[in-house]
Amino acid sequence: MAFLGGLVRISAAGRTDVGRKRAHNEDRIFVGKQTWVVADGMGGHAAGEIASEFVVSSLEAIDTFEDLRSSDVIDAVGAANQRILDHTRAWPESAGMGTTVAGLASVKVGGASHWAIFNVGDSRVYRCQGGALKRATVDHSETEELILAGKITEAEARHHESRNVITRSIGSQPPPQVDLWLLPQTPGERFVVCSDGVTSELPDERIAEIVLPALSPQAAVDDLVEAALVAGGHDNISAIVVDLWADADAEPEEATLPRVRIEEVS
């Protein structure tokens, strides 16, 4: 639990599970004070878990920054990308290792606290507000491109032959573009950060049924992971739930900026 800027209270919880089919968990999560991250690693010889650890540790390092900025998030992802490239040069057997990343950070913009929502790959962030759940990120995957082109539906994408093919990942050269959105913080909202071990098992409607009720972040995370296991648990499963609550005794911040999307290359 963290108190940021005296205005709001943030509570969060996370959980990762190997699932029912995999021998190793290549997912890594970080539940911090102002950064919350899920990374889904890929690659043989334990390389996937190394890649996901690199990106999570890079983002964990900025969790202590006094005035975290969106550029710090971009830089941390870029640093992780370089660490993975350096590792593959030193250990050729790990060639092809990489990871997705999705996350949420509380950053300062114009002196006010905002959310930075970011992703590379097909791990996702959802936003819950006003009794509705909506995706806050766009997958970097072949099936997402087919959906956007109108060639397949969301339901068809869940069973498509290219459902596991991502088009952007950490550990590539040139460095991947990081999608990052900035949102003003609104008390009462909830965010869900998860790997495709959740979304490949559960449609958005089912995720909404689980996380929208007024459960604690830990209860919501546990129910989400358990539901993905019951649905098959074919992949590693990771999820974080972050809630923002009003602090009635605090003085509000004055600056509020509209939603902005930033696309930068690390």
| pLDDT tier, 143 (very low <50, low <70, confident <90, very high otherwise) | confident
pTM: 0.88
Domain count, the chain: 1
Q: Which of these, 146, 168, 238, lies nearest to 199 by C-alpha position?
A: 238
Q: What is the DSSP letter of 47?
A: H
| Average of per-residue pLDDT values in the chain | 88
Q: Which of these, 23, 148, 48, 170, lies nearest to 103 by C-alpha position?
A: 170
Q: How far apart are CA 97 and CA 245, in angstroms?
A: 39
Is a pLDDT exceeding 80 seen at residue 174? Answer: yes
Retrieve residue 190's tokens.
């909830």
Boundaries of domain holding 26: 2-265
Cα-based torsion angle of the residue sequence 66, 71, 74, 78 in order, rounded to the nearest 10 degrees: -90
Q: Are strands 98-109 and 112-120 parallel, antiparallel or unpaired?
A: antiparallel
Retrieve residue 207's tokens.
């995720």
Please report the pLDDT score of residue 123 as a whole number.
97
Looking from the CA of 221 toward its CB, the CA atoms found within 13 Å total: 25
Q: How far apart are CA 112 and CA 255, in angstroms?
A: 5
Nearest 5°: CA angle at 246, between 242 and 251?
A: 130
Residue 129 CA, distance from chain mean position? 18
Tens of pLDDT, residue by residue over 25-43, are 999 999 999 999 999 999 8
Choice among 1-10, 202-211, 234-243, 248-257 with the minimum mean pLDDT: 248-257
Q: Which of these, 114, 106, 136, lies nearest to 123 by C-alpha position?
A: 136
Q: How far apart are CA 158 and CA 31, in angstroms?
A: 28
Please report the pLDDT score of residue 265 as a whole number.
32
In the predicted model, what is the mean pLDDT of residues 204-230?
Answer: 97
Cα-based torsion angle of the residue sequence 134, 41, 53, 50 in order, rounded to the nearest 10 degrees: 180
Q: What is the DSSP letter of 93?
A: G
* Residue type (1 letter), 233: G
Please report the pLDDT score of residue 160 as a whole number.
63
The length of the chain is 266
Residue 117 belongs to domain with CATH number? 3.60.40.10
Largest CA distance in the chain: 56
125 close to 139: Cβ distance less than 8 angstroms: no
Backbone angles phi, psi at 44, to 5 degrees: -80, 180
Retrieve residue 123's tokens.
């791990």
180 close to 136: Cβ distance less than 8 angstroms: no
Is the CA virtual torsion 254, 260, 264, 266 positive or negative? positive
